[in-house]
Amino acid sequence: MPKTKKALKRARSTPKGRQVDPQALEDIQKLLESAPRRRDLLIEHLHKIQDRFGCLSAPHLVALAAEMKMAMAEVYEVATFYHHFDVVKDGDAPPAITVRVCDSIACEMAGSHQLLHQLPDLLGPGVRVLHAPCVGRCDTAPVAVVGQNPVPHANVEKVAALVHANALKHPRRDSTTPHPHLDVVTPGHIDYASYRAQGGYELARSLDGGAKTRDEIVAAMEDSGLRGLGGAGFPAGRKWKTVAAGPAPRLMAINIDEGEPGTFKDRYYLERDPHRFLEGALIAAWAVGIDEIYIYLRDEYHGCREILETEIAALRANPPYAIPAMHLRRGAGAYICGEESAMIESIEGKRGEPRLRPPYVAQVGLFGRPTLEHNMETLHWVREILEKGPGWFAGHGRHGRKGLRSFSVVGRAKKNNVHLAPAGITVAELIDEYCGGMLDGHVFYGYLPGGASGGILPASMSDIPLDFDTLNQYGCFIGSAAIVILSNHDTATQTARNLMKFFSAESCGQCTPCRVGTAKALTLMTQTSWDQPLLKELSQAMVDASICGLGQAAPNPALSVMKYFPQEIK
Ligand SMILES: Cc1cc2nc3c(=O)[nH]c(=O)nc-3n(C[C@H](O)[C@H](O)[C@H](O)COP(=O)(O)O)c2cc1C
Ligand code: SF4
Ligand code: FES
């Protein structure tokens, strides 16, 4: 029997699903205050709830959905995508303190498994101990993070001391709570006043005042040969040209997600000289005609976030000229959000799932606008290149290559650090000239030339120039220039297993070859004797049919083992 209008109205007045709890709604309204309820701010708002209440409960998620006029399902699917959000069942709550222990490659090599084994019993049930992917401090492996407080060169005593002192925040330089490595985690930076006093922002201001034309600046960037330092190595000047040719308004998205195991160069520069990349961003914005700048910073970099919040506020308060709006956005624990289109989805407040291309983000990017997307370090070099001339940057290089590279070196060499060296240097030269040789008692066995994704090479191939393009013929790539040095204390198989475990955990799950392929490959690689034909077939499917670089590169370490370390898997 058809329902009357009155009956329909009655039916609609009872909403489906969970009802909004008045107390939870009041909590959310108080917490968000007058902040806009825009959809792209969803992840920012989820952080506020997580920070305040220690988790995301169902009543709070329902209240947030109501407040933001979004479907509960949309809020839930975003919240559950990111590792750092604790979505809990009614009445549940995680322990007040969480200790995350990095178990990615550099930390595993430095003994993080022992920490993961010992800490739960030592710290007791009131503390949750989780394993975590690379937290970007691989030079001081093994690393633990107590709440938001990083512990370089971690051992159980140091972690326990911070837990007992309830020292859960990244320490400031003037902190009264003792920290075993304050100078390491908070090295001190050039602030806005000092940067200006040293001539900072004069170049950006002079360009805005008409000192040079946009075409002249783009041409200088092209002449310098600067290539994107986030991994793909796309020529920076060419990218500026493409985006500038798109219709206004145009946006910029700066990538400081830095999740590739072994990589910490962006953090290194950001902790010391944050205005250098900001000035580079302003120059690029002027040259390309950018309306607004979005900066995406990984959640693990709490110290850097504080620096950026302070320094951007200082820049805004006393700008060198009328600068574009800048928005700082906080990641939430997802390696895939470093992939440029996934990052853009995340800035829009969504799950970090890579987009299908074309269209490219330079054409249709953030909020559907042409977007100049850059790694932070790429912008870090802009000022110096323009001040010293394009020939200065191109004038560096070795073995026929041009430019400078910031190598994050970790593993069994003596000096684990960011080493600024000529593009094209070989790993043997890097170890000898920059790292002080191998650690005592360690014999060079092999290396990862490009973090987790770039494959593994044996010591016998230590004379290949390290740069974009030079490693492709060996099934490897330089990526973000994270070099992991292996010794006779390591095996390539165990290294490859660690990397595949990482990819399997970090796959966004959107496409089957990557989601199922990484898990299946990991199972195959756990056997003492590898089923090589099957692994090769699986790898080919992942390379051919994955949507983004994670799935396409995930087989690289396994393929390297089969090609260069066959003695290990007989
Ligand atoms: C799985 C994956 C993770 C990535 N992670 C990062 C990252 O953390 N930081 C970054 O700058 N680029 C990362 N990239 C590369 C970006 O997609 C993009 O190429 C880069 O940010 C472009 O900036 P650039 O031209 O200045 O290098 C990643 C790519 C893939 C496929
Ligand atoms: S390749 Fe992996 S990470 Fe990339 S879109 Fe597919 S499932 Fe997601
Ligand atoms: S911090 Fe552990 S591998 Fe990077």
Task: Label residue 427 exposed, middle or buried (CB < 10 Å: 0-12, 13-18, 19+).
Answer: buried
pLDDT tens track for 386-419: 999 999 999 999 999 999 999 999 999 999 999 9
Which residue's alpha carbon is nearest to atom 6 within ligand 2? 511
When pLDDT is cut at 50, 70 and 90, the band that residue 1 belongs to is: very low
Task: Label residue 488 exposed, middle or buried (CB < 10 Å: 0-12, 13-18, 19+).
Answer: middle
Residue 177: per-residue pLDDT: 83
Mean pLDDT of 488-499: 98
Residue 10: per-residue pLDDT: 55
Mean pLDDT of 517-543: 96
CA of 547 to the centre of ligand 3 (A): 26
CA of 453 to the centre of ligand 1 (A): 12
When pLDDT is cut at 50, 70 and 90, the band that residue 543 belongs to is: very high
**Strand blocks (E) in 134-230:** 144-146, 149-151
Query: Is the Cβ atom of 471 under 6 angstroms away from ligand 2?
Result: no
- The closest-lying atom of ligand 2 relative to the alpha carbon of residue 342 is 5
DSSP letter assigned to residue 403: S
User: Does the pLDDT of residue 136 top 50, yes or no?
Assistant: yes
Where does ligand 3 bind, in terms of residues with CB under 6 Å?
A: 102, 104-107, 134-138, 141, 143, 261
Residue type, 295: I
When pLDDT is cut at 50, 70 and 90, the band that residue 355 belongs to is: very high
What share of residues in the chain are helix, strand, coil (percent, to 5)? Answer: 45, 15, 40
| pTM check: above 0.85 | yes
CA of 3 to the centre of ligand 2 (A): 47
Ligand nearest to the CA of 103: 3
Residue 6: per-residue pLDDT: 53
User: Does the pLDDT of residue 82 top 60, yes or no?
Assistant: yes
Mean pLDDT of 477-497: 98
Mean pLDDT of the residues in the chain = 96
- The closest-lying atom of ligand 3 relative to the alpha carbon of residue 135 is 1
Q: How far apart are CA 239 and CA 229, in angstroms?
A: 13
Residue type, 191: D
Residue 176: per-residue pLDDT: 83
Mutation to probe ligand 2, out of 548, 552, 556 (largest number of atoms < 8 A from CB): 548
Query: Is the Cβ atom of 511 under 6 angstroms away from ligand 2?
Result: yes
SS3 316: helix
Q: How far apart are CA 475 and CA 450, in angstroms?
A: 11
* 508: CB partners within 8 A, 6+ apart: 81, 334, 336, 342, 351, 352, 353, 354, 514, 550
Q: What percent of the chain has pLDDT over 90?
A: 94
Mean pLDDT of 142-146: 98
Q: Are 447 and 557 in contact (CB under 8 A)?
A: no
User: Does the pLDDT of residue 11 top 70, yes or no?
Assistant: no
**Strand blocks (E) in 283-393:** 290-297, 325-330, 371-375
Taking the alpha carbons at both ends of the chain, their separation in whole angstroms is: 73
Query: Is the Cβ atom of 354 under 6 angstroms away from ligand 2?
Result: yes
Mean pLDDT of 43-49: 98
Mutation to probe ligand 3, out of 100, 101, 104 (largest number of atoms < 8 A from CB): 104
User: Does the pLDDT of residue 12 top 90, yes or no?
Assistant: no
Mutation to probe ligand 3, out of 113, 138, 153, 483 (largest number of atoms < 8 A from CB): 138
Residue 147: per-residue pLDDT: 97
Reading the block at residue 481, the tokens are 């220039």
Reading the block at residue 524, the tokens are 């195959």
Query: Is the Cβ atom of 507 under 6 angstroms away from ligand 2?
Result: yes
Query: DSSP assignment of 470-515, as one string?
Result: TSGGGT---TTTEEEEEETT--HHHHHHHHHHHHHHH--S-SHHHH
Mutation to probe ligand 2, out of 81, 344, 351, 353 (largest number of atoms < 8 A from CB): 353
User: Does the pLDDT of residue 569 top 60, yes or no?
Assistant: yes
Query: Is the Cβ atom of 543 under 6 angstroms away from ligand 2?
Result: no
Q: How far apart are CA 452 and CA 262, in angstroms?
A: 7
Length of the chain: 570
Instruction: Convert 549-563 to b/e letters by CB count within 10 Å (16 or more is b).
Output: bbbbbbbbbbbbbbe
CA angle centred on 9, ends 4 and 13, rounded to 5°? 150
* 124: CB partners within 8 A, 6+ apart: none
CA of 143 to the centre of ligand 3 (A): 7
Q: What is the CA radius of gyration of the chain?
A: 24
H helix or E strand, kind and range, residue 56: strand 56-57
CA of 230 to the centre of ligand 1 (A): 4
Where does ligand 1 bind, in terms of residues with CB under 6 Å?
A: 228-232, 234, 255, 257-260, 336, 338-340, 373-375, 378, 548-550
Which residue's alpha carbon is nearest to atom 1 within ligand 2? 551
Find, among 255, 275, 298, the residue nearest to 150 by Cα. Answer: 298
Residue 2: per-residue pLDDT: 47
In whole angstroms, what separates CA 361 from the centre of its chain? 18
* 342: CB partners within 8 A, 6+ apart: 334, 336, 352, 353, 354, 355, 508, 548
When pLDDT is cut at 50, 70 and 90, the band that residue 372 belongs to is: very high
Find, among 516, 487, 504, the residue nearest to 557 by Cα. Answer: 504
CA of 561 to the centre of ligand 1 (A): 25
CA of 316 to the centre of ligand 1 (A): 27
**CA distance readout (Å), 391 to 199, 225, 329, 421, 542:** 21, 9, 35, 16, 41
Which residue's alpha carbon is nearest to atom 31 within ligand 1? 549
**Strand blocks (E) in 147-280:** 149-151, 250-256
- The closest-lying atom of ligand 2 relative to the alpha carbon of residue 518 is 2
- Convert 59-86 into a string of H (helix), E (strand) and C (coil): HHHHHHHHHCCCCHHHHHHHHCCCCCCC
Residue 433: per-residue pLDDT: 98
Alpha helices by DSSP H, 327-477: 340-347, 376-380, 382-388, 390-394, 427-429
CA of 82 to the centre of ligand 2 (A): 15
CA of 105 to the centre of ligand 3 (A): 7
Find, among 108, 82, 171, 180, the residue nearest to 498 by Cα. Answer: 108
Residue 14: per-residue pLDDT: 54
Residue 13: per-residue pLDDT: 55
Residue 286: per-residue pLDDT: 98
Instruction: Spell out the long-range contacts of 286-289 with Cβ–Cβ below 8 A and sequence spacing 24 or more.
Output: 286/204, 286/207, 286/208, 286/214, 286/217, 287/207, 287/214, 287/217, 287/218, 287/221, 287/240, 287/244, 288/214, 288/240, 288/243, 288/244, 288/250, 288/252, 288/372, 289/214, 289/244, 289/248, 289/250
- What number of helices (H) and strands (E) belong to the chain? 26, 15
User: Does the pLDDT of residue 9 top 60, yes or no?
Assistant: no
pLDDT tens track for 150-163: 999 999 999 999 99
- The CA dihedral of 177, 179, 184, 189, to the nearest 10 degrees, is 0
pLDDT tens track for 240-292: 999 999 999 999 999 999 999 999 999 999 999 999 999 999 999 999 999 99
Q: How far apart are CA 524 and CA 497, in angstroms?
A: 10
Ligand nearest to the CA of 252: 1
Q: How far apart are CA 208 and CA 55, in angstroms?
A: 46
Q: Are 293 and 366 in contact (CB under 8 A)?
A: no
* 316: CB partners within 8 A, 6+ apart: 323, 326
When pLDDT is cut at 50, 70 and 90, the band that residue 90 belongs to is: confident
pLDDT tens track for 196-220: 999 999 999 999 999 999 999 999 9
Instruction: Convert 444-477 to b/e letters by CB count within 10 Å (16 or more is b).
Output: bbbbbbbbbbbbbbbbebbebbbbbebbeeebbb
Q: How far apart are CA 485 and CA 564, in angstroms?
A: 16
Which residue's alpha carbon is nearest to atom 8 within ligand 2? 508
H helix or E strand, kind and range, residue 57: strand 56-57
Mutation to probe ligand 1, out of 255, 260, 299, 406 (largest number of atoms < 8 A from CB): 255
- Convert 544-569 into a string of H (helix), E (strand) and C (coil): HHCCCHHHHHCCHHHHHHHHHCHHHC
